[in-house]
Structure formats: C-alpha cells, structure tokens
Amino acid sequence: MMQSSSVIDLLGRPLGVLRLSLTARCNLACPYCCPDSVEPQGLLSTLDQLRLIHSACALGVHTLRLTGGEPLLTDRLWPLLEALSVGRATPGHPLSRLKDLAITTNGSLLDDAKAQQLRALGVDRITISLDAVDAESIARMAGLRRGAEAGLELFKRVLAGIDAARAAGYEPDQGALKLNAVIQRGRNDDQLIPLARLARQQRMELRLIEYMDVGNRNGWCLDQVMPATEMIQILHSHWPLQPIGRQPGGTSSQWLYQDGEGSIATIASITEPFCSDCNRLRITADGQAFTCLFASEGIDLRRWLRMDVSDSELAEVMTQLWTGRSDRFSEDRGLMQVGNHHAEMAYLGG
C-alpha cells in the first residue's frame, strides 16, 4: 500500500530527498571528483528509474535531484523528465507528491534549447558548478589539459549556460538558479572573492563546498580542506555577512550580505557535519542505493527490478533500506579506518 508520510530511520531521520544519478560519465575531469570514462554495467532503464522514484515518493520523498556524472551528457534525461512531468500533473499519482525537481550540472552543455526543455518538462531548479573565474584555475579545477585557453572556453560556455537558464525563466532571486564551487586549499582558494563577485553580479547564491573525502582516486587530504568558517572570514572582510543558519534537513548554511546584495552559502560536510538530520537517499545510474555519501558499499536495487517484483514489494525493499539505516559517517569520520574504500563522487552524484 502507498504511504503518505515519510519512513523514519533508526536515528529518527525521515526520508525526504532522492538524488538520482543518470550517468557516471562526464565531459569534464575535475581532479577532486575523477569521473569514470565508461558507464557501469547495467544502467537503469527509464522504466526502472521511474519505478524507483515512484516508490521513493510513496515513502516520503518530496524532492528529486538529478545528477551524475554530467546529467546533460545523456539523452536518457529527456524521456525520464517527460514521464515525470506527466506523473506530477496527474492527481493522486505518487509522482504528484514531488514538490521539487532539481538538476546539478557543470553548465557547459546548457544552451537555450536545453534550458527551455528543462523548464517545459518541470525542472524547478538548476544548480551550476563552477570552481573559478580565472581561466588557468578553471582549467586546473576541471582537469582540462589545454590550460588557460580551454579554461576561458569553458568559462564562456558556463556563462552562456547561466544566461540560457535565466532566459528560460530560472530566476536566481527565487532560488531557482544557484552556483556551486568546491574550494580546495592551495588550488583555488584564491578564487573565493572573484567567485563571490561573479555570483553577486549574476544575483546568484554561491554555495561554497568543502573538499570532501568521497572516492579513492582524488588523493584527498585534510590539508587541502579549507573550513567553511575560514571561507566566511575571508568573505566577511570584503562584504560583511550576517548568518542565517541551516534549514533542518538542508546541506547549506546561509549568510546574508549586509549590503543587501543577496546571500551566500557554505556546505561544511567535513568540519560541521549535518548527519543528525540527513534525509537523503542516493541511487546510482546502475541502481545501487547509498544512504550516505561516505559509505563504502551500496545496496543493489537493480536485482529487485530484474526479479520483476510488484510496486508494493519494491516499496517494502526501500522501506527496509531506510528504516535499517543508522549511518552518520561524516560525524564518525574520526573513527573511520584510514584507507576505507569509498564509492566515487561522479558515480554517487554528489
């Protein structure tokens, strides 16, 4: 039977957000992320994706974020969005419980046609990732071999993507268009002020992400993490800031510019973990469910899809998955074994 309230895990946390990765591949190669060059075996079909999303909505998911790899790299995005928009518009359909549909993209493939299509198919919010303004730094952070020239090219494409999103109706002032930047000490921390300036000019909220130890390939070390408090101190000395705090179940802490020019946010999953109210389930492009970004192994949902279980059986499998969850790996980071295997970020979808 379909449930209307959220399932609750062993630490009292309700399920609320599903992050679905559409592909593990990417057209960029950010060294902090290290995407795969080939897809994992056995990608979910659109029908598989829809069945999982239905079940998740029946268990309380109200927000779906589509991610990757690079979600705009795969044509499988479009039939999924079409089916979602029909379901969301049908009264009583499990998908009508989906209040918020968002996508995270590196913005480099976003043009007018795609932005309009996203809008027409009901995508409510777009988050665009950009880690620098200086062309050399952009190239370094995106793993582009041709240096500043390629960095400048990417910068222009991302700016065009932002313009396209705005022209399609994604209003930054309404929180529908945001900018993500990973800040790595010694690599792009000099880009903090230029990035904030760009975001202010664009009237977009910039979300500064602490460099996370997700995956095994990026050679993560604590020395490269710039704590959110330090980022805020630097910004505060340029543009005084006033803290707003973090919404329950949210990942970002917000700060208002005291000059009235909007807000900025930090995602401090290393120095100020927010496991205590984590409401996020992640499903990879090949149907592995992860209840935590820092988990080493997922739970294979594709196995159940291949067995052709009924919708209620699938919902039961997902209920068991969530209700049995007690992970809070980021808070327990100090207790974790060094060298623990982690799934890669582009596979998990961030």
Residue range at the interface with ligand SF4 (CB under 6 A); choices 49-57, 63-71, 149-157, 252-260: 63-71
Is residue 126 a contact point for ligand SAM (CB under 6 A)? Answer: no
Taking a C-beta distance cutoff of 8 angstroms, is the pair 118, 126 a contact? yes
Nearer of residues 209 and 295 to ligand SF4, judged by Cβ: 209
Is residue 214 a contact point for ligand SAM (CB under 6 A)? Answer: yes
Of residues 21, 106, 184, 202, which one binds ligand SF4 by CB under 6 A?
A: 106
Taking a C-beta distance cutoff of 8 angstroms, is the pair 232, 205 a contact? no
Residue range at the interface with ligand SF4 (CB under 6 A); choices 26-34, 43-51, 198-206, 300-308: 26-34
Taking a C-beta distance cutoff of 8 angstroms, is the pair 332, 22 a contact? no
Is residue 225 a contact point for ligand SAM (CB under 6 A)? Answer: no
105 binds, among ligand SAM, ligand SF4, none (CB under 5 to 8 A by kind): ligand SAM
Cross-strand bridge partners of residue 8: 14
Q: Give the torsion through C-alpha atoms of 326, 330, 336, 337, to 10 deg.
A: 130
154 binds, among ligand SF4, ligand SAM, none (CB under 5 to 8 A by kind): none
183 binds, among ligand SAM, ligand SF4, none (CB under 5 to 8 A by kind): none
Is residue 23 a contact point for ligand SAM (CB under 6 A)? Answer: no
Of residues 212, 235, 264, 293, which one binds ligand SAM by CB under 6 A?
A: 212
Is residue 199 a contact point for ligand SAM (CB under 6 A)? Answer: no
29 binds, among ligand SAM, ligand SF4, none (CB under 5 to 8 A by kind): ligand SF4
d(CA 142, CA 151): 8
Of residues 7, 17, 28, 110, which one binds ligand SF4 by CB under 6 A?
A: 28
- Give the total of residues touching ligand SAM (CB under 6 A): 21
Region class of 203: left (phi > 0), else alpha (psi between -120 and 50), else beta: left
Is residue 43 a contact point for ligand SF4 (CB under 6 A)? Answer: no
- Among 285, 283, 296, 287, which residue's Cα sits nearest to residue 332? 296
Is residue 129 a contact point for ligand SAM (CB under 6 A)? Answer: yes
Cross-strand bridge partners of residue 102: 65, 125
d(CA 228, CA 231): 5
Count the residues in the chain: 350
Taking a C-beta distance cutoff of 8 angstroms, is the pair 76, 23 a contact? yes
Is residue 104 a contact point for ligand SAM (CB under 6 A)? Answer: yes
CB count in 10 Å sphere of residue 128 = 24
In whole angstroms, how far apart are CA 289 and each of 45, 99, 293?
Answer: 16, 22, 10
67 binds, among ligand SAM, ligand SF4, none (CB under 5 to 8 A by kind): ligand SAM
Residues whose CB falls within 8 Å of the CB of residue 222, separated by 6 or more in sequence, listed in order: 270
Is residue 251 a contact point for ligand SAM (CB under 6 A)? Answer: no
Nearer of residues 66 and 314 to ligand SF4, judged by Cβ: 66
d(CA 215, CA 330): 14
Footprint of ligand SF4 on this chain (CB under 6 A)? 26, 28-30, 33, 35, 68-70, 106, 129, 346
